[in-house]
Amino acid sequence: MGSEKKKAAKKQTWKAGNMLYPVPAVMVSCKRTDEKPNIITVAWAGTICSDPAMVSISVRKERYSYDIIKETGEFVINLTTRELAKATDYCGVKSGRDVDKFKQMHLTPAASVKISAPAIAESPINIECRVKQVIELGSHDMFLAEVMAVNVDESLLDEKGTLHLSDADLLAYSHGRYYGLGDCIGKFGYSVQKPSKGKHYQKDLG
């Protein structure tokens, strides 16, 4: 019985919509000169190129951060964790026009290395970005940006300098809810890797 194929579930067809989940829930920080820094939570962010390293975020025109990012051409993608879940949600539902999100969520603006926009000190990974192109799409505009620097918490590095990102307890967003990532079930290429005698797969792959 164990070799029997699982019966395919019956499907419904829905109208076209955004159903690509899970996605990273990131806090994007930005700042105009002589103004308070702001944070916007973005679920539509992604990697688009490895050389040069480039990412994208999609933002509604009416969001407070939209004009800041478009005018300055800079932003920082800050990865989020289980500990930052409340702040992540707050920065997505409150507007920087009305509140100081850094102050309200007890977050610390940290100086970036390559750009003027501040990072969030409490985030384990800060990705400094410079906008290369803005693509107008409809409900959202996509900001295509080059990664200028990546700042990593030293607590996530071992004695050899290897990054253990799994130790950060990162946050994911799926259909209106936030989740932890759970256990590792494989690594890139594991489906074709030949097993080694006497060795067992480790959850923490480094």
pLDDT at 5: 67
Residue 145 in any domain: the answer is yes
Percent of the chain with pLDDT over 90: 83
Residue 15 in any domain: the answer is no
Query: What is the CATH number for 35?
Result: 2.30.110.10
> How does DSSP assign 122-188, residue by residue?
TSSEEEEEEEEEEEE-SSEEEEEEEEEEEEE-GGGB-TT--B-GGGG-BEEEETTEEEE-------T
Question: What is the distance between the alpha carbons of residues 71 and 31, in angstroms, rounded to a whole number?
Answer: 10
Least confident of 132-146, 166-180, 186-200: 186-200
Residue 197 in any domain: the answer is no
Average pLDDT over residues 85-104: 97
Using alpha carbons, list the distances in angstroms from residue 175 to 60, 123, 195: 18, 23, 37
Residue 42 in any domain: the answer is yes
**Structural domain harbouring 95:** 23-192
Please state whether the predicted TM-score (pTM) of the whole model is above 0.75: yes
Region of residue 3 (left: phi > 0; alpha: psi -120 to 50; beta: else): alpha
Residue 200 in any domain: the answer is no
Collapsing DSSP states into helix, strand and coil, what is residue 91?
A: helix
More confident residue, 8 or 154: 154
- The mean pLDDT value of the chain amounts to 92
Collapsing DSSP states into helix, strand and coil, what is residue 119?
A: strand
- Give how many domains the chain has, as a whole number: 1
Least confident of 146-160, 163-177, 187-201: 187-201
The total number of residues written for the chain in this structure = 206
Residue 59 in any domain: the answer is yes
Percent of the chain with pLDDT over 70: 92
Cβ count near 169 (within 10 Å): 15
Residue 1 in any domain: the answer is no
Q: Sign of dihedral through CA atoms 68, 70, 73, 74?
A: positive
